[in-house]
Amino acid sequence: MSSVITRVKQKQIAQLIAKGKRLDNRSATDYREIKIEQGIIERAEGSARVLLGKTEVMVGTKIETGEPFPDTPNEGVLTVNAELVPLASSTFEPGPPDENSIELARIVDRGIRESKAIDLEKLCIEPGKKVLVVFVDVYVLNHDGNLIDASALAALAALINTKMPNYEIEEGEMKIKSGYTPLPIRKRPITVTFAKINEKLIVDPWLEEEQVMDARLSMAIDDDGNICAIQKGCSGSIAPNQILEAAKIAKEKAEEIRKKLEW
Amino acid sequence: MSQKSEKLIDKKGLRLDGRKPDELRQIKIEVGVLSNADGSAYIELGKNKILAAVFGPRELHPKHLALPDRMVLRCRYHMAPFSVQERKSPAPSRREIELSKVIRESLEPAIFLEYYPRTGIDVFVEVLQADGSTRCASITAASLALADAGIPMKDLVVACSAGKVDGTIVLDLMDTEDKMGEADLPVALMPNFNAVTLLQMDGNLSLEEFENALNLALEGCKKIYTMQKEALKAKYVGVKEEVEE
Amino acid sequence: MPTFFERRQLVTPGDLIAEGAYIAGENTYVEDNKIFASRIGIVEYENKKVNIVALRAFYIPRIEDIVIGTIVEVGFNGWTVDINAPYQAILRASDVLSRPFKPQKDDLSQVLNVGDLIVAKIIAYDRSHDPQLTVGEPGLGKITRGQIVKITPTKIPRVIGRKGSMISMIKQETGCQIILGVNGIILITGKTLEEEELAMMAIRKIDEESHTSGLTDRVTQMLKEEKKNMEENKE
């Protein structure tokens, strides 16, 4: 099926939104149904699968040892990668990460990093020399809109599910012991994405809404209601008062979603 | 952002480079600096030195990239290996790829893309020396390069950053403040329409702090806009004054 | 019904020029009953019409325009021509050859080759197709001598001057033949290199000072002074 959206459909969506309605009967601030599963990939140190409507994202985490960054010698390393695998959409092509997957990875990364969700200092083995590196790999399996929120949620769920190996330092050498410790998670940042269509803001755009939006705005909110990351996307513009309105809505929605999570 | 022993704001409320919290760094802008590009501009924002060039509208190669009903804008943000403290590899980094995308998305709303279908415009930004807020300075320069190339635009696009440093909301972050501060908020604006075309943030801001920082950045944008327009007109104003006395 | 700029004032993209019962002319656009500039240029009012004479612009083809172009590719049944526009133009072999075209026998590069300059007229152009040229009219065809100057296309009217006053003066003072391509490319043919140089100097001056007044007088004066210098140098 072609990915081109018909003009008739575009008009239909725009007209509905002008009345505050959406094709699937959601209101402007409703999310689609969210389903989260954790621990599905045993080989990974942590994993999760999120279904946001029909958008499906899987995240696996792996833990390895490595060197810290020179300016943070006492901290572990977080690295996020995203893949828009071809089976997720007829518009995804095989190949090295393109600007969309790089942007997605960096947005998810910022939400986790800036909220200080992981207590990276607890991942330090030998200051300046050896730390634990947490690899977060975002795998988009089906694209039906709002990959950002689905990926951020799946990444958070996977991290909460992640277990680090126990170890001790014996004569300057790292020795793995038996048993695992959960990754030290301090905060649960939630990302809320808006689409601007015909001057109206709607939350959690699905695929066809994304195809007609002028601008996209994502905000990551931490447990204290503070904003820790923002990314405007697409080639349109947003008015400052709408940005501030979005921030208020994002704070409410993030709190709502966090309450629904069992962790 | 771990424990920092260095204070970014001193007892007098001044920043590391002596600026007040709401003060911009020194800015120098020149338009039409490259003879081969269709349009170009050079900007210095504090220690930042950035060159922007535009080629087009021209036919796109490969042809299948062209769109039948509008122009395609391509943008490449690139940092020279010697632009930063530790040599940066010339290969495009993930950061440069993301910045190329957000810069493109900040300029597109200002261009009448539907005027010239099947063509492309290439925007190249080279950061020769970096000191924080490079994407903002890049957008300011790229927008002038587009106007210099005679590309019809709705408005110029201007950009400026704000942030939080030692608990204080400040304007126009330099590199140390970006790395060691608590938040960085780059904003791009089409001033005549009060339309924000780039908005990113990383750090930690309450809703109130965010509103203050956003407003401060928008004020900064408007100040730089005046300089942008002057720089665009400078060549012509100079010649007119010279010959019409 | 206010206007916010006077005529001959310099404006930049996004500047609000007029509001209300005005007509949007060149290099402007309308939003919410307001007329804005879309390019850097000088404001001109033609009764209720607001025009911006752009100082920086590129050429967009129009049917009937006389242009000067360069052959950049010899194709199977025609040539691709660079006319200093976002779109390349096509010159069909059938337009140039007076007899039926035989692809097997005729070598088009013998007629016109890459690098050749032509004066041509645009006979077809629309949003979905590249412009098409003809050289089949008097005054058109391959250029064999002379020099080329490139200026911003919007300044061609300035080179012509009011009722042709500027261009006639230059032709007279320099003794050169001058063909003005609407696409901003100008062909100068003189009897000597010095004459051609004089004409080029005049055109470059117009390019730089097109937004100022009293230009015709200054160009005339410059040409007279340069001619005197040249003669003095000869002695």
What single string gives the DSSP state of each residue in B78-105? Answer: EE-TTSSSSPPPSSPPHHHHHHHHHHHH
- How do the domains of chain C map onto residue ranges? 10-54, 66-143, 147-234
Question: Does C108 score more than 90 pLDDT?
Answer: no
Question: Does A4 score more than 70 pLDDT?
Answer: no
- Nearest-angstrom CA–CA distance, A205 and C12: 37
Question: Does A2 score more than 80 pLDDT?
Answer: no
Q: Is the peptide bond prior to B57 cis by the omega test (within 30 degrees of 0)? A: yes
Q: Taking CB atoms and an 8 Å limit, are B59 and C36 in contact across chains?
A: no
Grade residue B112 by pLDDT with cuts at 50, 70 and 90: very high
- Nearest-angstrom CA–CA distance, B245 and C157: 24
Dihedral sign, CA of A205, A206, A212, A217?
Answer: positive
- Nearest-angstrom CA–CA distance, C34 and C16: 7
Three-class SS state of A87: helix
Structure tokens at C87: 């779109």
CA distances (Å), origin B205, targets A243, B168, B210, C75, C163: 14, 11, 6, 62, 65
- Nearest-angstrom CA–CA distance, B51 and B40: 8
CATH number for the segment(s) C10-54: 2.40.50.100
In the block, tokens 């007119």 appear at B240
pLDDT at B3: 47
Q: What is the pLDDT of residues C120-168, one digit of tens each?
A: 999 999 988 999 999 999 989 999 999 999 998 989 999 999 899 999 9
Chain A residues close to B218, C-beta within 8 Å: 240
pLDDT at C106: 67
Instruction: Tell me what percent of chain A is helix, strand and coil, each rounded to the nearest 5.
Output: 30, 35, 35
Grade residue C103 by pLDDT with cuts at 50, 70 and 90: low
Question: Does A71 score more than 70 pLDDT?
Answer: yes
Q: Taking CB atoms and an 8 Å limit, are B154 and C10 in contact across chains?
A: no
Q: Are B162 and B185 in contact (CB under 8 A)?
A: yes
pLDDT at C107: 81
Question: Using CB atoms, which chains have 3+ pairs under 8 A with C?
Answer: B
- Nearest-angstrom CA–CA distance, C103 and A118: 72
pLDDT at A13: 87
Q: Do chains A and C touch (3 or more CB pairs under 8 A)?
A: no
- Please give the residue of chain C at the shortest CA–CA distance from B57: C86
Chain B residues close to C10, C-beta within 8 Å: 233, 236-237
- Residue C85, classified by CB atoms within 10 Å of its CB into exposed (0-12), middle (13-18) or buried (19+), is buried
CA distances (Å), origin A54, targets A206, A261, C29, C231: 9, 19, 42, 84
Chain A residues close to B206, C-beta within 8 Å: 225-227
Nearest to B226 by CA among B163, B158, B161: B158
Give the residue-averaged pLDDT of B137-148.
98
pLDDT at C125: 95
Chain C residues close to B237, C-beta within 8 Å: 10
Nearest to A189 by CA among B166, B209, B213, B203: B203
Nearest to B148 among C27, C56, C88 (CB): C56
Q: What is the pLDDT of residues C26-37, one digit of tens each?
A: 999 999 999 999
Q: Quick one: residue A179, left, alpha or beta (phi over 0 = left, psi -120 to 50 = alpha)?
A: left
Structure tokens at A234: 């697409």
- Please give the residue of chain C at the shortest CA–CA distance from B228: C12
pLDDT at B64: 87
On average, the pLDDT of chain B sits at: 94
H or E segment at A198?
Answer: none
- Nearest-angstrom CA–CA distance, B142 and B157: 9
Q: By the CB < 8 Å criterion, does A96 face chain B?
A: no
Q: What is the pLDDT of residues B171-220, one digit of tens each?
A: 999 999 999 999 999 999 999 999 999 999 999 999 999 999 999 999 99
Superfamily of domain C66-143: Nucleic acid-binding proteins (2.40.50.140)
- Nearest-angstrom CA–CA distance, B38 and B32: 9
Give the residue-averaged pLDDT of A256-260.
92
Q: Taking CB atoms and an 8 Å limit, are B108 and A235 in contact across chains?
A: yes
* Torsion angle (degrees, nearest 10) of CA A19, A23, A26, A27: -20
pLDDT at B2: 44
- Please give the residue of chain A at the shortest CA–CA distance from B210: A227
Question: Do C10-54 and C66-143 share a fold?
Answer: yes
- Please give the residue of chain B at the shortest CA–CA distance from A227: B205
A229: Cβ–Cβ under 8 A, 6 or more apart, which residues? A107, A110, A111, A114, A115, A189, A191, A218, A219, A220, B201, B202
Q: How far B118 CA sits from the closest chain C CA (Å)?
A: 8
Grade residue B1 by pLDDT with cuts at 50, 70 and 90: very low
Question: Using CB atoms, which chains have 3+ pairs under 8 A with A?
Answer: B
Nearest to B211 among A110, A231, A244 (CB): A244
One-letter amino acid identity for B113? L
DSSP state of A223: T
Structure tokens at B8: 């970014």
Q: Do chains B and A touch (3 or more CB pairs under 8 A)?
A: yes
Domains in chain A and their CATH numbers?
33-260 (3.30.230.70)
Enumerate the H helices of A19-139 as residue ranges: 99-114
CA atoms within 13 Å, Cβ hemisphere of A58: 11
- Nearest-angstrom CA–CA distance, B187 and B185: 6
CATH number for the segment(s) C147-234: 3.30.1370.10
Instruction: Tell me what percent of chain C is helix, strand and coil, each rounded to the nearest 5.
Output: 30, 35, 40
pLDDT at A3: 55
Q: What is the pLDDT of residues A155-201, one digit of tens each?
A: 999 999 999 988 887 777 788 888 899 999 999 999 999 999 989 99
- Nearest-angstrom CA–CA distance, C45 and C7: 6
- Nearest-angstrom CA–CA distance, C168 and C149: 18
Q: Which residue has the higher pLDDT, C133 or A24?
A: C133
Give the residue-averaged pLDDT of A144-150.
97
pLDDT at A171: 75
Give the residue-averaged pLDDT of B116-127.
96
* Torsion angle (degrees, nearest 10) of CA B236, B240, B243, B245: -160
- Nearest-angstrom CA–CA distance, C90 and C120: 11
Three-class SS state of B223: helix
pTM, entire model: 0.92
Give the residue-averaged pLDDT of A36-41.
94
Structure tokens at A157: 């769920």
Based on C-alpha coordinates, what's the Rg of chain C?
Answer: 21
On average, the pLDDT of chain A sits at: 93
Question: Does C118 score more than 80 pLDDT?
Answer: yes
Nearest to A203 by CA among A242, A237, A249: A249
pLDDT above 90 coverage of chain C, percent: 68
Q: By the CB < 8 Å criterion, does A233 face chain B?
A: yes
pLDDT at C105: 64
Q: What is the pLDDT of residues B74-92, one digit of tens each?
A: 999 999 999 999 999 999 9
Question: Does A57 score more than 90 pLDDT?
Answer: yes
Q: By the CB < 8 Å criterion, does C227 face chain B?
A: no
- Nearest-angstrom CA–CA distance, B32 and B40: 5
Q: Are A108 and A138 in contact (CB under 8 A)?
A: yes
Q: What is the pLDDT of residues C188-216, one digit of tens each?
A: 999 999 899 999 999 999 988 888 888 99
Domains in chain B and their CATH numbers?
27-235 (3.30.230.70)
Grade residue B46 by pLDDT with cuts at 50, 70 and 90: very high
